Amino acid sequence: MSSASSDHSLYLRAAEDLRSNERQWQAYQSTGHCVLLAGPGSGKTKTLTIKLARMLNEDVDEPRGIACITYNNECARELENRLEALGIAPGGRVFIGTVHSFSLTQILLPYAKVAGLGLPDSFTVANRQQARAALAAAHANVIGGPENPQNWEMRLGRHRRRFLNRELPEWQTLDPQLTAFVEAYEAELRAAGLIDFDDMPLLAVRALAENRWLRTAMVAKYPILAVDEYQDLGRALHRMVMGLCFSAGMRLFAVGDVDQSIYGFTGATPELLRRLSERDDVETLRLGLNYRCGSRIVSASEYVLGEERGYEAPHDAHEGTVYFHPCTGGYAEQARYLIEELIPEIRERRPDINLGEIAALYPAAFLGNELANAAAEHGYSVIRTDGNALYPRGSKLMRWLEQCAMWCCGGWRSGAPRLSRVVSEGARLFHEAITDEDERLAFQRDLTAALWDRRDETVDLHDWLTALHDDIIRSRVSLTRSLDDEYVTLNNFLTRIGPAGDVDDFPLAEFAGIGSGLDRINLSTLHSAKGREFDVVILFGAEEGRLPRNYATENDLREARRLFYVGFTRARHEIHLMYGQHNPSRFVTEVQDRLEGE
């Protein structure tokens, strides 16, 4: 992104909205390292984007820029959209992306060879099939036996992420067999010229730690580092922050919430944010107002969390309501109750509500199958964001294709999205295949022609995607080292919506709106719902053994409580808790007892 043509008045006007909230305004005014502890609905994304716009315009001189690391690609897209609304158009001065994307594109691809990482000159990112093959070969060499090698995958990942410094004696002594397995697995990858997903931040941390010149180069390019959802990003990102910001001189603006840390299985460690916020050389601010949830939902959310945080709703907030639904029968019967009775009740009570403002959230993806089946039986359309969705919401390639579809379904008239944005996002996606201005112009010309000829929202999605696949994507993916899995996702989706697939009648218009609030019920796991908000939330399957699941440690139980809290605080007006009448979650019982005792 670039501020060269940005309208300063846009972010300055937006900043005036922060003045009425003392902590938001303090964050906006901060000049040194700053940590913003921001609870649900506290306006943290608004504060972050306006702050980014200010820093880019006032604190960083061209051609230097800002790096902003986010938890996932959807968070990155949201920040990009908001910055664009502040007049900051796509360009080269702001990196916004995941820690894996930052590690790969800003450190490994440009500097791996000179940083002495020992990677093959033309390494690529392993797709899922290649990673599984390497895992199977390493398992045969180190473990042996008939056990499925995939059973070791999670342990392997935890062990790798735990030891950022493998020179420590514990790397060899804590679990020698697991260490040998890791080393054998990584050797299999390297022999094939590959790195995997976990390699990206681990190798980037090593490159930064071993090369002072690289830290200096990163600070020269990005004098400011912003981090969103800090609590979710793990030890590798924290080590980068310590080295770049507190040793090399990069300025830090970090946003997060320890209470919303729900990704322990991927290495998230909320204690790292807590430690960062307690540093003497960091200005730490806490946002205490929840602008999203009704006042009763805000007060009940502290019962959910089990700890007082002092969050309040604004004085003019709506009240909000908490409903309890003990149900008979199994999940199929409960799903029918949700569709046949609960949804009609909600629509009668809120006649203007769009189904896209209703979300059913659940702790495991198989529960979404029950809800999807019940919805289909009664003629309701749904949007799924779980492991059984038509394609993963985090796919950068699929999200870009949605943008292309939106342009073909009316965006070419309305400017939402602008063609320049669609082209620039595509160019970034295929950046390794577009290495000079001539190739960029050729990409712009080819994409514009392909989309212009297919401006028809009634066209069959399979035909539309196949044309873009053949004309635009296939040749460029072959030259891009990080899109193998994304390409597999696209081809699997094409198969499912094709003549021999299992999905019928999928027009382009539906694909274009798959991520927006159309008249379809949202079905999502609790993990995938983080960062989103809805008028009405139905927490389905809130039962003991599901939420929490059988937990091994007190840390597991605390994370399960935080997961419940995240789901609870997605709701603006109504939160409905559904569970088997004889097996409510302990969290549900606690909230109900506290509310009844008020």
Domain assignment of residue 116, yes or no: no
| CATH classification of the domain holding 362 | 3.40.50.300
390-425 tens-digit pLDDT: 888 778 999 999 999 999 999 999 988 899 989 999
Instruction: Please give the Cα distance from 42 to 433 (Å, whole number).
Output: 41
Of 445, 477, 502, which closes a domain? Answer: 502
Query: Residue positions in the annotated binding site?
Result: 38-45
Cβ 260 vs Cβ 566: under 8 Å? yes
Are 467 and 438 in a shared domain? yes
Are 403 and 487 in a shared domain? yes
Q: Is the pLDDT assigned to residue 141 strictly greater than 90?
A: yes
Mean pLDDT of 182-187: 98
Which amino acid is residue 75, in one-letter code?
C
Are 75 and 21 in a shared domain? yes
475-531 tens-digit pLDDT: 999 999 889 999 999 999 999 999 999 887 788 988 887 655 568 899 999 999 999
Q: What is the pLDDT of residue 598?
A: 78
Are 532 and 580 in a shared domain? yes
Are 490 and 569 in a shared domain? no
341-364 tens-digit pLDDT: 999 999 999 999 999 999 999 999
Domain assignment of residue 507, yes or no: no
Q: Is the pLDDT assigned to residue 206 strictly greater than 80?
A: yes
Domain residue limits at 491:
396-502
Domain assignment of residue 1, yes or no: no
Domain count along the chain: 4
Instruction: Please give the Cα distance from 252 to 244 (Å, whole number).
Output: 9
Are 14 and 103 in a shared domain? yes
Are 433 and 579 in a shared domain? no
Q: What pTM value is reported for the model?
A: 0.91
Mean pLDDT of 296-308: 94
Are 237 and 382 in a shared domain? no
Are 142 and 161 in a shared domain? yes
Domain assignment of residue 56, yes or no: yes
Q: Is the pLDDT assigned to residue 2 strictly greater than 80?
A: no
Share of the chain above pLDDT 90, in %: 84
Q: Is the pLDDT assigned to residue 4 strictly greater than 70?
A: no
Domain assignment of residue 121, yes or no: no
Cβ 395 vs Cβ 486: under 8 Å? yes
Mean pLDDT of 542-571: 94
Are 441 and 539 in a shared domain? no
Are 263 and 326 in a shared domain? no
Cβ 82 vs Cβ 45: under 8 Å? yes
Domain assignment of residue 45, yes or no: yes
Closest alpha carbon to 117 in 169, 189, 223: 189
Domain assignment of residue 403, yes or no: yes
More confident residue, 515 or 97: 97
Q: Choose the weakest-confidence range: 75-79, 241-245, 293-297, 590-594.
A: 75-79
Of 287, 322, 345, which closes a domain? Answer: 287
Query: Residue positions in the annotated binding site for ATP?
Result: 38-45
Which residues, other chains included, contact 351 with Cβ-Cβ below 8 Å and sequence gap of 6+? Answer: none
Dihedral sign of CA atoms 337, 40, 526, 76 in order: positive
Mean pLDDT of 184-207: 97
Are 84 and 43 in a shared domain? yes
